[in-house]
Amino acid sequence: MNLKNSYNRVKAVSSADFDSEVINSSMPVLVDFWADWCMPCKMLSPIVEEVAEELADRLKVVKVNVDENPDLAMSYGVQAIPTLLVFKDGRVVTETVGYLSKKALMDKLGEVIK
Residue 38 is a catalytic residue = yes
In this structure, the strands spanning 29-34 and 83-88 are: antiparallel
Among 13, 29, 41, 84, which one carries the catalytic annotation? 41
C-beta separation of 63 from 11 below 8 A: yes
Among 10, 22, 29, 38, which one carries the catalytic annotation? 38
Element (H, E) at 61: strand 60-65
Residue 46 is a catalytic residue = no
**CA separation for the pair 93, 88 (Å, rounded):** 6
C-beta separation of 38 from 102 below 8 A: no
Catalytic center residues: 38, 41
